[in-house]
């Protein structure tokens, strides 16, 4: 029997409590336009791939690969849009707080990488976290790097 007080809903924003003296200095939310643009590119690649596979197999109905690729990505994009575009990460003067209870101390961030609109956070322990659909992934990376190295945020909460 499950506890009726335990929520099965996914938190899309940080729920971690701030520590004394800690404050949010930036928030990074997924961007809806970026989400749809990336899925449009993914659909184009799936369409080309489907057609290429059918052509290589000698199928005379190569055009069906485009239809299948478009349909597959469109269904996926429509299904995931409501969740993926609600994700938010908060940068504090001490930590990077992710959706739910994810919390990464700034000194535990080993690397910040970008790929298209995604920003990957790699911890010193090797854990990887992905901030998807950032409108300007390079600016997000720069802001996190600046906070990590002490430029742009104050660690003790004073100015």
Give the pLDDT confidence of 18-36 residue by residue, as tens digits.
Answer: 999 999 999 999 999 999 9
- Can you give the pLDDT at residue 152? 55
For the CA atoms of 63, 67, 70, 75, what is the dihedral angle to 10 degrees?
-160
What secondary structure letter does DSSP report for 9?
S
Say what the pLDDT of residue 4 is: 66
Q: 18: helix, coil or strand?
A: coil
Q: What is the C-alpha to C-alpha distance for residues 93 and 48, in angstroms, rounded to an integer?
A: 45
- 14 CB neighbour count, 10 Å cutoff: 22
pLDDT at 23: 96
Averaged pLDDT for residues 90-106: 97
pLDDT over threshold 90, residue 9: no
Q: Tens of pLDDT along 34-56? A: 999 999 999 999 999 999 999 99
Mean pLDDT of the chain: 92
Cα–Cα distance for residue pair 117/140, rounded to 1 Å: 10
**Spatial separation of the C-alpha atoms in residues 125 and 78, rounded to whole Å:** 35
* Ramachandran category for residue 109: left, alpha or beta (phi over 0 → left; psi -120 to 50 → alpha): beta
Q: Which residue has the higher pLDDT, 10 or 135?
A: 135
The answer, yes or no, to whether residue 118 has pLDDT greater than 90, is: yes
Q: Has residue 159 got a pLDDT over 50?
A: no
Share of the chain above pLDDT 90, in %: 86
Interatomic CA distance for residues 115 and 59, integer angstroms: 35
Cα 153 to Cα 157: distance, rounded to the nearest angstrom: 8
């Amino acid at each position: 029997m499950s506890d009726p007080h335990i929520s099965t809903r996914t938190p899309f924003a940080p729920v971690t409590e701030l520590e004394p003296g800690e404050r949010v200095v930036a928030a990074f939310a997924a961007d809806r336009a970026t989400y749809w643009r990336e899925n449009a590119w993914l659909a184009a690649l799936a369409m080309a791939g489907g057609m290429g596979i059918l052509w290589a197999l000698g199928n005379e109905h190569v055009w069906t690969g485009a239809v299948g690729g478009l349909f597959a990505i469109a269904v996926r994009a429509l299904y995931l849009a409501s969740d993926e575009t609600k994700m938010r990460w908060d940068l504090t003067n001490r930590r990077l707080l992710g959706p739910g209870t994810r919390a990464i101390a700034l000194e535990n961030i080993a690397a910040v990488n970008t790929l298209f609109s995604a920003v990957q956070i790699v911890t010193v322990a090797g854990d990887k976290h992905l901030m998807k659909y950032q409108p300007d992934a390079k600016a997000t990376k720069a802001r996190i790097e600046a906070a990590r190295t002490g430029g742009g945020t104050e660690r003790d909460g004073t100015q």
